[in-house]
Amino acid sequence: MKILVINCGSSSLKFQLIDSDSEQVICKGLCERIGIDGSRIVYTPAEKDKITIETPMPDHNKAIELVIEALTNKENGVVSLDEIGAVGHRIVHGGEKFTESVVINDEVIKAIEDVSDLAPLHNPANLIGIKACQKAMPGVPMVAVFDTAFHQTMPENAYLYGLHYSYYEKYGIRRYGFHGTSHSYVSKRAAEILGKDIKDLKLIVCHLGNGASISAVKDGKCIDTSMGLTPLEGLIMGTRTGDIDPSVVEFIMKKENLSVAEVTNVLNKKSGVFGLSNELSSDFRDLEDGYLAGNEGAKRAVDTFAYRVVKYIGAYTAAMGGVDAICFTAGVGENSGFTRKKIIDGLGFIGASLNEEANAVRGKEEIISNPDSKVTLMVVPTNEELAIARDTYALCK
């Protein structure tokens, strides 16, 4: 079966076509600037050069049309339309209703709409992608794969805030966590690499990129994760603050004469390593270069980021009563030996010992700890699209 994986944003649409038998990517691409001047589709059929087509994309319906045209055209196409057996959609927020992936029907769409106020920038765009695909491919089964689902195994004492309980009862205000598809894939893959049953392992997964989160996975289940009601909580990120005293919002509002929305924008888009580096960059590659060149802002940003990661690893080691392996994944986690070392240098208290030569790895699976390390250190590249395709196939085969 050929599975089309769709990841729909407010003005973008990522896609991959995956063969469920071989799990090979047949084609992948991106529609950019949907509804904005200068829109284009960029895609790469397997074993062919990248193709870029600049064309108007007034809405997601047109973007889906262009994706199907790219996949099926006579010149560079890779399938016929009737070969696409199912579509898997990444959905950011499933609230408490969805603990696993589900086949999409009217009830599921309504439930996604009902929790859109918990992810106002993402769920509406995800829904647009679903409806556009339904219009373009009537009768093709579709599956919703939720970023929050993997974390629904967290116990109450991990997901509740110290707010009056009525706010949870009335509005569902609690910690949900995100990047769940990645955390699920990486933890399972780590167990395979180690040759052990995931139910016998205590794992910490560090999904480190422009968006970053950490999860504690015990006996194959997530028992805690760093993101909360929204992806703003937790680690310092590219432009997000991570954990912060809530009173800072009121304080900045008064000092700068800003609205709640304006301060929230600062917390989400002008903070993190970008803000800490005095706006040098939100890209860790630039920060690494700056650090090595002696830039004080870059050093401040990287050191503070690494310290926050170490704190969470320590907390989750305590929460699980130990840790067998720590997995690094996503853009920074997979590719920056420099940042990994900064973090691991702070993990001597759990007996972590880094193999400097192995740590030079970029973007591929590798055990980067020394044989005498008391905890296994691993690089495990994430593959959220493959995870979505696997769930979609399992539900639709």
Q: Catalytic residue positions?
A: 147
| Ramachandran region, residue 15 (left: φ > 0; alpha: ψ -120 to 50; beta: rest) | beta
The continuous run of DSSP H or E covering 395 comes out as helix 384-396
Measure Cα distances from 392 to 89, 140, 221, 284, 374 in Å.
Answer: 9, 12, 21, 33, 38
Q: Distance between CA 310 and CA 208 in Å, rounded?
A: 12
DSSP string, 214-263: EEEEETTEEEEES--SSTTSSS--SS---S--THHHHHHHHHHT--HHHH
* Residue whose token pair is 């480190």: 208
Q: Distance between CA 285 and CA 199 in Å, rounded?
A: 36
Helices (H), 98-257: 106-114, 123-136, 156-159, 165-171, 180-194, 247-256
Phi, then psi, of 340 in degrees rounded to 5: -60, -45
Instruction: Map residue 35 onto helix, strand or coil.
Output: coil
Q: Distance between CA 189 and CA 141 in Å, rounded?
A: 27
Q: Distance between CA 110 and CA 131 in Å, rounded?
A: 12
DSSP string, 46-90: TTS--EEEE----SHHHHHHHHHHHHH-TTT----GGGEEEEEEE
